């Protein structure tokens, strides 16, 4: 475990690390942007679609494992969160996202050799609206007791 600039990284010991995962994380991406309201799995898909990452996956005959999603909301990285970077490796882009996004909490990357996939998951919480934005004219007692 190591703390680098406010981001805690947890990796297996060197002898147990997956060389492909190390290669992916160290791969420099020339240009990459995240737009406002980007959903977490869109970030993962976009990173895996960059030419260098896609080329590595293709070379090993691997595919993007995607995400198993269930629920009623689409976790975003933040309504106003966006950035553009150049010449930054995959790990640094992911760490930047976790450090600067108001909702992103952590990321994981894993290899599943049995189905020839690599999965990149970015977990995010919810971004709440300011208190006065939606409920400023609502009496909370009316919401709690619908039959006055």
Residue-wise pLDDT for 1-14, tens only, equals 555 667 778 878 88
Task: Report pLDDT digits (tens) over 38-49.
Answer: 999 999 999 999
Place of tokens 């293709």: 58
Half-sphere exposure of 123 (CA within 13 A, CB side): 5
Per the prediction, the chain carries an average pLDDT of 84
Domain count, the chain: 1
What is the reported pLDDT for 145?
53
Q: Is the pLDDT reported for residue 132 higher than 80?
A: no
- Stretch 140-146: mean pLDDT: 54
- pLDDT of 53 over the 60 cut: yes
pLDDT tens digit sequence for 21-32: 999 999 999 999
The secondary structure of the chain in percent helix, strand, coil, rounded to multiples of 5, reads 35, 30, 40
Enclosing domain of residue 28: 2-144
């Amino acid at each position: 475990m190591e703390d680098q600039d406010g981001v805690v990284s947890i990796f297996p010991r060197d002898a147990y690390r997956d060389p492909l995962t190390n290669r992916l994380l160290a791969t420099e991406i020339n240009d990459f942007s995240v737009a406002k309201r980007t959903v977490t799995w869109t970030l993962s898909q976009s990173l895996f679609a960059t030419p260098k990452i896609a080329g590595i996956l293709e070379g090993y005959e691997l595919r993007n494992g995607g995400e198993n999603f269930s629920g009623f909301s689409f976790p975003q990285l933040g309504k106003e969160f966006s950035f553009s970077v150049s010449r930054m490796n995959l790990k640094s882009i992911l760490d930047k996202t976790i450090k600067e996004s108001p909702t992103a909490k952590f990321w994981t990357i894993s290899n599943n050799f049995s189905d020839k996939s690599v999965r990149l998951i970015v977990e995010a919480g919810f971004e709440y609206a300011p208190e006065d934005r939606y409920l400023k004219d609502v009496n909370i007692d009316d919401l709690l007791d619908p039959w006055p």
